[in-house]
Structure 1
Amino acid sequence: MKGSTIITCAVTGNHTTRAQHPKLPVTAQEIATACLEAAEEGAAIVHIHVRDPETSTPSMDIGLYEDVVQQIRNQNAALIINLTTGPGGRFHPSEHDPVVPGPRTNLLVPEKRVEHVALIKPDIATLDLNTMTFGREVVINTPGNVARMARVIRQAGVRPELELFDSGDIALCHDLIKDGALDPSPLCSIVMGVKYGFQPSPETLLYARNLLPPRAIWTGFGTGRWAFPMVAQAVLAEGNVRVGLEDSVYISKGELAASNAAMVKKARRIIEDLGRRVASAEEVRELLDIPVISLTERDRNAPT
């Protein structure tokens, strides 16, 4: 893996809308196709949220996750599948009483947030460590709840990917490693561009990188107009990269990306122009000690 860079493609997310990008993947088939096309351009990992196919709103429907994962694995057994566990941590205080949850609150007990991970057993599952203002709501991930989610992920044989939005999240990461809730060689993503978290810049990236556990395998990425500048910065800092319509809908100033695959293709060009090569899914599986799941194993482990 020396000299190689991992590309993750985040194909749809929770917040991007079809008003922002008319070709945003929404149905299970569209999401699976976007993942497979991204893999063709060099993505080794795909990060997946699902949407209600009728309304295009975010969903945690386990059947939708199963459908997407099965479609991908039927066509590409090597591609590394990363499922979100982010939904379920948002609190919206109502206008008349901040103790009363408002309509955008989606708080769930930790085990419900990772129920789909326990059943489907993807290769990777995100684990958000942030407690922060996010838009008009607050995202809440207490140390105890994160540890409970981490326990379910670990018992499922899935590798957690820690989403880090500010320096306090990295401090929590160290504490959870010390307490035994997390592995001392974590897979980490430094998220830059969310308004009240890490702001995207070379200085921010290097600062955050230097706070990580010494054995961390890390990705750095930016949202919005910072998506591709932070690809270059992450490569120069010897990290890995992430792009996709979850993080930005533009491939250059004022130009909508044709697809997730087009964004991966541009990221690949940046990586190669900077003198590195793109890691294959097989190489990343070896690095992360994630075996390929055969069709026989998948069918045997499938929920009934």
Structure 2
Amino acid sequence: MAQKVMLTSAVTGAGDTTGKNPNVPVTPKEIAESAIESAKAGATVAHVHARDPETGGISHNLDHYREIVDRIRESETDVLINITSGGGGDFIPNLDTPAAGGDGTDIQTPHERHEPVGELLPEMCTLDCGSTNFGNMIYMSPTDWLREQAKLVKDSGVKPELECFDTGHIRFANQLVQEGLIDGDPMYQFCLGIPWGAASDVETISYMKGRIPENAEWSAFGIGRMQLPMVTQAALLGGNVRVGLEDNIFLKKGVLATNEQLVDQAVQQLQTNNIEIMTPQEAREKYNLRQPHGGK
């Protein structure tokens, strides 16, 4: 029997990519349509951030999230929805007043970060399991805040994807599991190649997967030019996979991508290695996710 993996399309993110690739979706309608097209190309999951339709920057507006989710659901396209809960963690150091954030700082409380998840009840959400240097920015996700946020996710019945950008994040994610804040078999996501976190290579995947619980599921992705190579490597090592314009805007050197092209390329690579893509319903059953219309 062929191996099966869950394939996620991270359709937009919140980074400064809209001016670099016009295919990056911005409005709720564009984001929903890109998620739908990704599903038609073979994606199991659509990972969703909202953007401000006017500026293209990050949006925490619940109405934007609601429109995205409603459009996907009303399309009757069967795709799992994975909403970010990692927004509002950006701290830009200000050398003149170190205790205050500079321009671009955007910090939300655990309850604010959880609001779109708690209100819209997708099948999945991300939970970023630690703070990290992110380029010249500090992404802030303190441990007590994470405990509070993990409890909110657990109470909502949504499956958290424990995002780990470095090896210390694995240790804290394990702690959340040990404290009973994660229901069922935990699901880890190894986020590789982001400056300055874990490296994007096979050795790092092997190290990280060797330090998660025996009953855990895992996925891994690389950014930029390492996105598509990491699809094959992660799947061959037994993990789920992710592509999308959040992490990489090119199909190949000098060729701008669409989300559905990246999904199609991932599908081709996996099938070449006799690896099939899970349907959304197969993933719901395998990972005990919420059923359509909020059922379990």
Q: What TM-score, normalized to structure 2?
A: 0.96
| Counterpart AA for 1:94 | N
Residue in structure 2 matched with residue 182 of structure 1 by the alignment: 182
Identity %: 35
Structure 1 residue 292: Cα displacement: 2.7
Residue in structure 2 matched with residue 123 of structure 1 by the alignment: 123
Structure 1 residue 18: Cα displacement: 2.0
Structure 1 residue runs of 5 or longer lacking an equivalent are 299-304
Aligned residues of 1:5 and 1:277 also touching (Cα < 8 A):
yes
What is the distance in 2 between the residues matched to 1:202 and 1:224? 16
Q: What is the SS of the residue equivalent to 1:154? A: helix
Residue in structure 2 matched with residue 263 of structure 1 by the alignment: 262
| Counterpart AA for 1:289 | N
What is the distance in 1 between the residues matched to 2:144 and 2:230? 32
Residue in structure 1 matched with residue 23 of structure 2 by the alignment: 23
Bigger mean CA deviation after superposition, 181-190 or 214-223: 181-190
Aligned residues of 2:2 and 2:275 also touching (Cα < 8 A):
no
What is the distance in 2 between the residues matched to 1:2 and 1:109? 43
1:68 paired with 2:68, answer yes
Structure 1 residue 113: Cα displacement: 0.8
What is the distance in 2 between the residues matched to 1:176 and 1:2? 33
Aligned residues: 295
| Counterpart AA for 1:115 | E
1:282 paired with 2:281, answer yes
Q: What is the SS of the residue equivalent to 1:25? A: coil
| Counterpart AA for 2:53 | P
Structure 2 residue runs of 5 or longer lacking an equivalent are none
What is the distance in 1 between the residues matched to 2:78 and 2:218? 20
1:79 paired with 2:79, answer yes
| Counterpart AA for 2:48 | I
Q: What is the SS of the residue equivalent to 1:268? A: helix
- 1:32-111 equivalences under 5 Å are 32-76=32-76, 78-111=78-111
| Counterpart AA for 2:273 | L
Aligned residues of 2:39 and 2:78 also touching (Cα < 8 A):
no
1:235 paired with 2:238, answer no
Aligned residues of 1:9 and 1:260 also touching (Cα < 8 A):
yes
What is the distance in 2 between the residues matched to 1:133 and 1:245? 21
Structure 1 residue 16: Cα displacement: 4.1
What is the distance in 1 between the residues matched to 2:280 and 2:11? 17
Structure 1 residue 140: Cα displacement: 1.6
Structure 1 residue 77: Cα displacement: 5.5
Aligned residues of 1:32 and 1:69 also touching (Cα < 8 A):
yes
1:5 paired with 2:5, answer yes
Residue in structure 2 matched with residue 273 of structure 1 by the alignment: 272
| Counterpart AA for 1:5 | V
Structure 1 residue 2: Cα displacement: 6.6
| Counterpart AA for 2:24 | L
- 1:185-196 equivalences under 5 Å are 185-196=185-196
Structure 1 residue 91: Cα displacement: 1.7
What is the distance in 1 between the residues matched to 2:89 and 2:290? 30
Aligned residues of 2:129 and 2:141 also touching (Cα < 8 A):
yes
Aligned residues of 1:36 and 1:76 also touching (Cα < 8 A):
no
Distance 1:291 1:172, change over 3 A: closer
Q: What is the SS of the residue equivalent to 1:114? A: helix
What is the distance in 2 between the residues matched to 1:5 and 1:125? 18
What is the distance in 1 between the residues matched to 2:290 and 2:133? 37
Aligned residues of 2:157 and 2:290 also touching (Cα < 8 A):
no
Structure 1 residue 41: Cα displacement: 1.1
Q: What is the SS of the residue equivalent to 1:50? A: coil
Task: Give a deviation string over 1:13-72, Cα, whole Å, max 9, x none.
Answer: 011422210121001110000000000111011100011111111101100000000000
| Counterpart AA for 1:280 | T
What is the distance in 2 between the residues matched to 1:69 and 1:46? 10
What is the distance in 1 between the residues matched to 2:19 and 2:286? 39
Distance 1:245 1:16, change over 3 A: farther
Residue in structure 1 matched with residue 244 of structure 2 by the alignment: 244
Aligned residues of 2:2 and 2:274 also touching (Cα < 8 A):
no
Residue in structure 2 matched with residue 149 of structure 1 by the alignment: 149
Task: Give a deviation string over 1:194-228, Cα, whole Å, max 9, x none.
Answer: 01111111111111111122111111110000000
What is the distance in 1 between the residues matched to 2:177 and 2:77? 31
What is the distance in 1 between the residues matched to 2:94 and 2:131? 19
Q: What TM-score, normalized to structure 1?
A: 0.93
Q: What is the SS of the residue equivalent to 2:161? A: strand
| Counterpart AA for 1:271 | L
Aligned residues of 1:224 and 1:248 also touching (Cα < 8 A):
yes
What is the distance in 2 between the residues matched to 1:132 and 1:44? 29
Aligned residues of 1:7 and 1:240 also touching (Cα < 8 A):
yes
Distance 1:144 1:9, change over 3 A: same
